[in-house]
A and B are shown apart, each in its own frame.
Chain A
Amino acid sequence: MTGLASLPVFFNVRGRRVVIAGGSAAALWKAELVQAAGASVAVFAAAPCDGLAELERRCASVMLVRRRFEPGDMEGAALALADCDSAEEAAQFHAAARARGVPANVIDKPASSDFQFGAIVDRSPLVIAISTDGGSPILGQALRGRIEAMLPAAIRLWAGAAKSWRAPLKALDLAPKWRRRFWELFNQRALTPNAAPPGPDEFKSLLAEATAEDPRAAQGSVALVGAGPGDPELLTLKALRLLQAADVVLYDDLVAPEILDMGRREATKIPVGKRGYRPSCKQDDIVALMIELATEGKRVVRLKGGDPMIFGRASEELAALHAAGIATSVAPGVTAALGAAASLQLSLTERVRARRLQFITAHAHDGRLPEDIDWRALADPRASSVIYMGARTLSSLVEQLAAHGADPSTPALLVERATCPDERVIRGTLASLPAKAAALSPSGPCLILIGAVFAGGAEAEQIREAADIAIA
């Protein structure tokens, strides 16, 4: 790890003296915060706001001193906070705190502060704090909103229960795998969308479930998981969950690193890249590896670009896993064609021009265009066609389509790295696309979209081309 902007720590101020200089509403908010964390708070202000007086009345641990703050007030304090009007005043306060070895924070004056308060999600004992290193407090607030939305209501109670169960669980001296299973089951119950609070027998029931011999768990499992078209946000919640519970992740070349990073940090990640024309693991070796790992008791995620059931060779893998008696499951994903069409803002089907939608792969096991394709079906002017892995064989594909009656002026697009930040679209017609694609030599995963519904893009391109000519 390098370049950490600041060191996040959770500071225990229970029973310790914290001094605050200033009587503003901002000072009041800080007083409430440190008071809530159990500190003994002394606020120094010649003219405190009403809220501070009210806080002193309400909380025995808050003392309001109605005079200006003096440097000597910091003696023995764990933290010193201030709301200063000027930069000079802030600098003086900071220097005084430094001289006494007291960490200081001046509200909205990062230059005169040793530490910052982040945006806080409070589900005590669960506390989440977010810092943008002063870059964008608004971003911090927005992230806080997201996290608030993600956390089930009962999480506070579950976090409390975890704290109280830690010691009794340790006293039981369980085998590490059972202890891990206990906390996994705990997470599962605590983080379900409508989690109920932990019941009186929850500890016992978790313990019983965790230590019960589960033959399926002992045997391990394989989940074929769709990683979607590329954008990590197009992963399904189910895929995300499986990734976060995996022991081993076997992934294709097509899967973005950002998606792999969403997996459990301790998981072993093994590339089994199967991208055309590159040396890669043989299919048999991948299957053998999955069986071996699952037999060892590992939870294996086989992460595939797009949807595993569309050009993912899932049937071969599932058949072999079933034959070996391995427990399997499949998490569907957003297939690449849908991602590309969404980026292009073009519907794949339409009542008149595209009553039928079809996908083929233009890459047979020998890297050439497959021969047993129903070319007439592909050349149908009333269908939309999406060709997976079609960049290399594009010219032969176009020749075949032309030979089977396709109109050379049919709109055709090539989308490289659909939905990724570096997505590239090459627009043309059946006649013009091969040359255009060859000139731009795409290197990422490509889809080719052919059909009348893609005309919007083609027409726009023609207009752009006309404009280019006019400029030239």
Chain B
Amino acid sequence: MKLPRDSAHADVSPTLFFSPPIRSDDASRELVSTTLEPEGVGPEATTPSVFFVGAGPGDPDLLTVRALKLLGGADVVLYDALVSDDVLGLIKRGAKRIAVGKRAGAPCIAQSDINRMLVRLARPGRRLIRLKGGDPLIFARLGEEIAALEAAGVPFEIIPGVTAASAAAAAAGISLTTRGQARRVQFATAHARAGEELALDWRSLADDKATTVFYMAREAAALIAGRLMAHGLGARTPVLLMSDVSRPTQMRLRACLCELQPAVDRFPPGVPLIIIVGDATAAASIAAHPHSEARAAIRG
């Protein structure tokens, strides 16, 4: 059985004035590229020349106003594999785009090379955008890139974005925190370096009074379920899995903790997956959703 497509992301489009820049051929784009003043960029050494920008989960509607403006005035953009084509389409035409994709399993540019590239490409007056999927402050290895820029004396600015967990919660209609049930929300990445054990504080992650979000958890799903149960989390704890959050290809599935691996196996290989564990994911609003049939299919 195929998973149902989720079109919840496309449900609202009332009056729009602040439409993102158009992607089609338009003579005014050339004009724009010369007249669009970059945000706070000048020749002074203290104004940022590198902008770390959160691209959000994929739907260009979930970009921030600031991110949209910066993309529209970019000179060079270094972007990750997780940034959607729709968002890339908003980059100023004529800007140099460099894919520095890091996707599990695929050959990619080493982090140290990205750090060096940022330092080498940055210069006063050039709007260099480092575009990261979701939010740059969560599991994006921002610290290493910042350290390289600081060492080289390159000024930078960070523009936060909507992280995948927020977008997933919005699409599924579940609150990540609830009074009494989930006083704490925690985020972990379960993507270990090859041959490494996942060094996570499982006791903290196995709290039944918390909502726990795992990013990049696909490979480690069985291990996550096993460890959480071994540390006392109930086998029937509800879990929400979502792929391609906010994109037209978005899919979601509910399962319980002991069924996590078979649930993961139902997603097409290679799609980015987010796993949310905790009672908060069992909210009524999602149970009332037609997609809950997928859950019945798994349990049956």
The residue that A339 contacts in the complex, of B25, B28, B160, B207, with Cβ under 8 A, is: B160
Q: Which residues of B contact A (CB under 8 A)?
A: 8, 11-26, 28-29, 31-32, 34-37, 54, 56, 59-66, 68-69, 72, 135-143, 146, 156-163, 166-167, 169-171, 173-180, 183-189, 199-201, 203-205, 207, 209-210, 280, 283-285, 288
> Interface residues, chain A, CB within 8 Å of chain B?
141-142, 144-146, 148-153, 184, 187-188, 191-194, 223, 226, 228-229, 231-238, 240-242, 244-245, 264, 299, 307-316, 318-319, 322, 328-335, 338-339, 341-343, 345-351, 355-361, 365, 370, 372-374, 376-378, 380, 382-383, 453
Report how far A257 CA is from B143 CA in the complex, Å: 33
The DSSP consensus for interface residues of chain A is: mixed
What residues of A have a CB within 8 angstroms of the CB of B26 in the complex?
A: 153
CA distance A356 to B114 in the complex (A): 24
Query: Which of the residues A145, A361, A365, A376 comes within 8 Å of B35, measured between beta carbons?
Result: A145
State the Cβ distance, B58 to closest chain A Cβ, in Å: 12
Q: Which of B34, B63, B159, B184 contacts A373 (CB 8 A)?
A: B184
Query: Are B288 and A322 touching (Cβ within 8 A)?
Result: yes
Top 5 A-B pairs ranked by shortest CB distance?
A245-B14, A145-B35, A377-B204, A142-B37, A315-B175
Is B14 within 8 A of A374, CB to CB? no
Partner of A338, one of B32, B135, B210: B135
CB distance from B36 to the nearest CB of A (A): 4
A313 touches B175 (CB 8 A): yes
A453 to B137, CA, bound (A): 11
CB distance from B141 to the nearest CB of A (A): 7
CB pair A383 B35 closer than 8 Å: no
B51 CB to nearest A CB, Å: 11
Question: In the bound complex, how far is the Cα of B169 from the Cα of A308, in angstroms?
Answer: 9
Partner of B36, one of A145, A242, A308, A318: A145
CA distance A238 to B146 in the complex (A): 30
Contact A244 B17 (CB under 8 A): yes
Of the A-B pairs whose beta carbons lie under 8 Å apart in the complex, a sample of 10, sorted by A's number, is A141-B37, A145-B37, A146-B37, A152-B22, A311-B177, A329-B8, A338-B137, A339-B160, A358-B210, A373-B184
Residues of A within 8 A of B62 (CB): 236-238, 332
Residue of B nearest to A362 (CB): B183
- Nearest CB on A from B87, distance (A): 11
The answer to whether B14 and A244 have CB atoms under 8 Å apart is yes
Contact A356 B175 (CB under 8 A): no
Q: How far, in whole Å, are A242 and B26 apart by their CA atoms in the complex?
A: 27
- A residues less than 8 Å from B178 (CB atoms): 315-316
Partner of A240, one of B18, B54, B142: B18
Cβ-defined contact, B21 with A150, below 8 A: yes
Q: How far is the CA of A149 from the CA of B56 in the complex (A)?
A: 21
The answer for the CA separation of A398 and B88 in the assembled complex, in Å, is 44
- Asked if A348 contacts B170 (CB within 8 A), the reply is no
Seed contacts A145-B35, A240-B65; 20 additional CB < 8 Å A-B pairs: A144-B35, A150-B18, A153-B22, A233-B65, A237-B64, A242-B12, A244-B17, A245-B14, A315-B283, A316-B178, A318-B175, A322-B288, A329-B12, A330-B173, A332-B169, A339-B160, A342-B159, A355-B201, A374-B207, A377-B184
- Within the complex, the shortest CB–CB distance from B217 to chain A, in Å, comes to 13
A319 touches B283 (CB 8 A): yes
B66 touches A233 (CB 8 A): yes
Contact of A245 among B15, B64, B160 (CB under 8 A): B15
Q: Is B280's CB under 8 angstroms from A315's CB? A: yes
Taken together as a complex, chains A and B put the C-alpha atoms of A233 and B53 apart, in Å, by 13
Q: Which residues of B contact A350 (CB under 8 A)?
A: 143
Given contacts A338-B160, A359-B185, contact A237 B285 (CB under 8 A): no
CA distance A128 to B20 in the complex (A): 18
Given contacts A146-B36, A338-B135, are A356 and B205 in contact (CB under 8 A)?
yes
Which residues on the B side are within 8 Å of A313 (C-beta)?
Answer: 175, 179
User: Please, how many angstroms separate the alpha-carbon atoms of A241 and B60 in the complex?
Assistant: 13
Q: How far is the CA of A299 from the CA of B12 in the complex (A)?
A: 12
Question: Which of B14, B146, B285 is close to A242, meaning CB atoms less than 8 Å apart?
Answer: B14
Q: Are A338 and B163 in contact (CB under 8 A)?
A: yes
Task: Give every chain B residue within 8 A of A382 (Cβ-Cβ).
Answer: 201
Bound Cα distance A348, B72 (Å) = 27
Q: Closest A residue to B65 by CB, please name it.
A: A233
Residues in A neighbouring B209, C-beta threshold 8 A: 372-374
Given contacts A194-B24, A223-B12, A383-B204, contact A152 B176 (CB under 8 A): no
Contacts of B142 in A (CB 8 A): 347
